[in-house]
Amino acid sequence: MITIDGSFGEGGGQILRTSLSLSAITGQPLHIENIRANRKKPGLMRQHLACVKAVAEICHGELDGAELNSQALTLKPGMIQGGDYRFIIGSAGSTLLLAQAILPVLLFADRPSRVVLEGGTHTMQAPIFDFFERVYLPCLHKMGLEIEVSMERAGFYPAGGGMVVLSVKPARVWRQLSLIERGELQEARVTALGSGLDQSILTDELKIFQAGLAGVLPWQALARDVESSGSGNVLFAELAYENLTELFSVCGRYGLSRKSVAKSAISLVKQYIGQGWVVGQHLADQLMLPLALGAGGNYLTGRPTLHAESNRQVIRRFLDVKVDFKKMSDSLCEMEVQK
């Protein structure tokens, strides 16, 4: 049994998700303690418990300690089985973080899978659906993986109620992924997404964003209303390069002005462009596990975050791979996974 201390590094949910995925894939029993010890509310929240139960169901595992607020649990994995699944978080917890926990497992299943996930699709402190669809998945496609995703209904905080459908075929061929250059910029887009809001909120966010970056890039702007169980808003900017697309999002919330939303998005874009990163730091954290499970690879990103270092340590506990951070400059690092 592998024991993981959930308090090290970033001390949050990513340690839990990576540990669960790797336990199921390798068949090695897992005991994790001090779950989310560095968070204001430690232990398993509803969305984390959904991840635990989903991974266990897919791998026919035995669980001990899988309950709300639990700070320790044990998973004894069994056989990974594909098929039709439905997992309901029951809150605005992120369906995309749940997808990132089960997706690696389903790649090692005995047959294709179709999974319906219900919860949040555009929430704070989690990848939004558009990032998952247009940034993360295309990188996995480059690795030879056959995965499709669709959003049937948006889910904003606090109502949730979103629905995402994930289709996954077992991995047949793994290709190396190398992202060292962005390539030529093909398109710059900014989208204000909303549900149940005055249209002026969306148009104002777009105007403020475009004005703040007018001297940097010409932007295509779009205001979109979507169906959702509750009101909500997110502004996201996409930079589509020859070799990858990056996306930067800011979720609106009560008490946060439209000007603040736009200025936060401007800051994220300027940081990415100015630092010279190819892979943004959020994507860098998320690509590490599929690279370690597959054929390896490398990418140019910023200095390692606590999330990245935590992920590396968990991966090395389960897999015999070499994960290196090579400092290129004060703001640049090459992350390399060697099999």
Distance CA 335, CA 325 (A): 5
Distance CA 48, CA 54 (A): 10
Distance CA 105, CA 20 (A): 9
What SS3 class is residue 212? Answer: helix
Q: Which residues pair with 225 in a beta bridge?
A: 194
How, if at all, do strands 113-119 and 162-168 pair?
A: antiparallel
How many CA atoms lie less than 13 Å away from 230 in the CB half-sphere? 17
> Hey, which bits of the chain come out as E strands?
2-5, 30-33, 62-64, 72-76, 84-88, 113-119, 147-153, 162-168, 177-179, 185-195, 220-225, 232-241, 245-251, 297-301, 322-327, 333-338
Catalytic residue of the set 48, 122, 282, 307: 307
Sign of CA dihedral 325, 328, 333, 336: negative
Q: Omega into 158 within 30° of 0, i.e. cis?
A: yes
- Is 48 in the active site? no
Residue type, 32: I
On whether the CB atoms of residues 179 and 299 are closer than 8 A, the answer is: yes
| Structure-derived torsion over alpha carbons of residues 14, 18, 24, 30, reported in degrees to the nearest 10 | -80
On whether the CB atoms of residues 50 and 96 are closer than 8 A, the answer is: no
Catalytic amino acids? 307
